[in-house]
Amino acid sequence: MDFRDSPDEAEFRSELRSWLAAELPPDWGEREPHVGRWDFEAARRWTRNLFDAGYAGLTWPTEYGGRGLSPTYQGIYLEETARIDAPDHIGVIGLGMAGPTIIAHGTPEQKETHLRGILSGETIFCQGFSEPGSGSDLASVRTRSEREGDEFVVNGQKVWSSYAHVADYCILLTRSEAGSQKHRGLTYLLVDMHSEGVEVRPLRQITGDPEFNEVFLTDVRVPVSNVVGEVGGGWGVAMTTLLHERGTLGFALTARLDALFRRLVSTAQKTGAASDPLVRDRIADLYVDLQGLRFTNYRSLTALMKTGVPGPEGSVAKLHWSEANQRLTSLARELLGADGQLDGEGAFWNGYWQYQQLRSRGNTIEAGTSEILRNIVAERVLGLPRSR
């Protein structure tokens, strides 16, 4: 693969740099890092800006507000925004998972209804896959959907649903065939979170943020027109979502990890730890890891451009990224010594590393635990025998 930009890509990169420089304060890239999550309404305004300027949905079809460009442009966008730590698009789940799934399996009406709103930040999606007793073993989903005329009536409970407290819609995996086993008899629904019978209860994460939720569904009525794919064929649709969750996001996360690495180096310099040969060794090791990850991502990007769909190789990136992120944030916090125990105002960068380290714990669980991803890599990438 040629890593240099083509003339068109170079032009796109330079336009994007100028746009970011004009939209963000001049010292944005050099400021002290932000701690915790972004303010929701500010993130929504930023998303609208991105959409109006044509930077949301670079690879999405033009008729739904995208630009129809190749994934390389999305890669450039992610590198450039990470380089100066620009705010993210607000629709993490809509943009990365619900949207691509609707593009692949949705009806023309579903595309018309949802895609533009996801890109502009008007419609926020959450993902209702996990249940108590159904996480890694997603095929054991128990939330029921029973057909009554033109509607499905949904009953059950989901858990760990990120953004459900602010979401307008949920991609919900349900069991529509009573008594069906495993991945048979599942149906994938788009559920309006404002429907009667949807109750969202926030859960507090180790960081202190109430960023994910329990979702209780009691006699929630969902029009049959909100089924994505075939009734009973929800497993295949859910696999599209998961491949995008692990694949497409891999590039974004790696780009952000580069920015975090630069902060680690800066922290080593500020704390005086940069002259310690053991610290230098560990930082150099991390640098090598990150370069490996970067080039693995370029390979996934090449494969994606050839096939149009992310493959199981995305699991390598997610696995490696989440573990490298934990090593990086733990090392950074260690460099602070006893000050690493402080939090909030007065702490180094207002407790930025403490927050990052705590948040990184969830990275090896969400979007597939490391154990599950190792199984996928072993079975589906390397072709080794099934583990069970």
Ligand X SMILES: Cc1cc2nc3c(=O)[nH]c(=O)nc-3n(C[C@H](O)[C@H](O)[C@H](O)COP(=O)(O)OP(=O)(O)OC[C@H]3O[C@@H](n4cnc5c(N)ncnc54)[C@H](O)[C@@H]3O)c2cc1C
Residue spans of beta strands (DSSP E) within 226-338: 227-228
Helix, strand, coil shares, percent, the chain, to 5? 55, 15, 30
- Which is nearest to 276 in space by CA: 337, 348, 355, 349? 337
Site for ligand X in 158-177 (CB under 6 A): 160-162
Residue 4 to residue 157: CA distance in whole angstroms: 49
Q: How far is the CB of 329 from ligand X (least distance, A)?
A: 15
Rg (CA), the chain: 21
- Give the residue, chosen from 70, 140, 195, 369, that forms a contact with ligand X under the rule CB under 6 A: 369
Residue 206's CB: how many other CB atoms inside 10 A? 10
Contact 165, 210 (CB under 8 A): yes
Of 75 and 96, the one with the shorter C-beta distance to ligand X is 96
Residue 183 to residue 323: CA distance in whole angstroms: 29
Residues in the chain: 388
Contact 100, 150 (CB under 8 A): no
Size of the site for ligand X (CB under 6 A): 19
Say how many Å lie between the first and final Cα of the chain, rounded: 37
Task: Kindly tell me the burial class for residue 95, based on how many C-beta atoms sit within 10 Å of its own C-beta (0-12, 13-18, 19 or more).
Answer: buried
Site for ligand X in 349-368 (CB under 6 A): 362, 365-366
Q: How far is the CB of 191 from ligand X (least distance, A)?
A: 13
Which residue type occupies 209?
Answer: D
| Options 79, 211, 245, 313, the catalytic residue | 245
Q: Which residue is nearest to ligand X (CB)?
A: 135
Site for ligand X in 71-130 (CB under 6 A): 126-130
Residue 128 to residue 308: CA distance in whole angstroms: 25
Q: How far is the CB of 172 from ligand X (least distance, A)?
A: 9
Q: How far is the CB of 161 from ligand X (least distance, A)?
A: 5
Of 130 and 174, the one with the shorter C-beta distance to ligand X is 130
Of 75 and 314, the one with the shorter C-beta distance to ligand X is 314
370, containing H or E segment: helix 370-376
- Residue whose tokens read 């009554």: 148
**Please, what's the b/e burial string for 324-347 (b: 16 or more CB within 10 A of its CB; e: otherwise)?**
bbbebbebbbebbeeebeeeeeeb
Of 285 and 371, the one with the shorter C-beta distance to ligand X is 371
Of 254 and 363, the one with the shorter C-beta distance to ligand X is 363
Q: How far is the CB of 6 from ligand X (least distance, A)?
A: 36
Residue 182 engages ligand X in binding (rule: CB under 6 A): no
Of 8 and 371, the one with the shorter C-beta distance to ligand X is 371
Q: How far is the CB of 255 from ligand X (least distance, A)?
A: 20
Site for ligand X in 206-245 (CB under 6 A): 212
Query: Per-residue x/- marks for ligand X, 121-160, CB under 6 A?
Result: -----xxxxx----xxx----------------------x
Annotation says 112 is catalytic: no
Where does this chain bind ligand X (CB under 6 A)?
126-130, 135-137, 160-162, 212, 362, 365-366, 369, 371-372, 375
- Catalytic residues, by residue number, are 245
